[in-house]
Amino acid sequence: TAVVTKMDDSSVNMLLRFYLQDPSQEVHMRWEYTEKVREALREADIEVPFPHRQLFLDGAKALQDSSNRAPSSRE
């Protein structure tokens, strides 16, 4: 059974239910059926949109400023 539980801007959350005779196969079967659902959506030309962001820099000055900064203690 596959049920859509929530639709967000960049995801479709689903609940997948299936019964296993061998519980040790849970991870494998979860992956396999997630891929089957993804493939079914692709074959039906259903796309999950992902948000895109654009970053505008003020010319080369922003790039120059970032290259002149001192290295942080994490670097």
Take residue 65 and report the two structure tokens written for it: 């400023």
pLDDT at 67: 61
Say which residues have a Cβ less than 8 Å from residue 49's Cβ, sequence separation at least 6: 9, 10
pLDDT at 66: 61
Compute the half-sphere exposure of residue 9: CA atoms within 13 Å on the CB side of its CA.
3
Sign of CA dihedral 29, 35, 36, 41: positive
Q: Are 5 and 37 in contact (CB under 8 A)?
A: no
pLDDT in tens, 16-58: 888 899 999 999 998 998 899 889 989 999 887 777 777 777 6
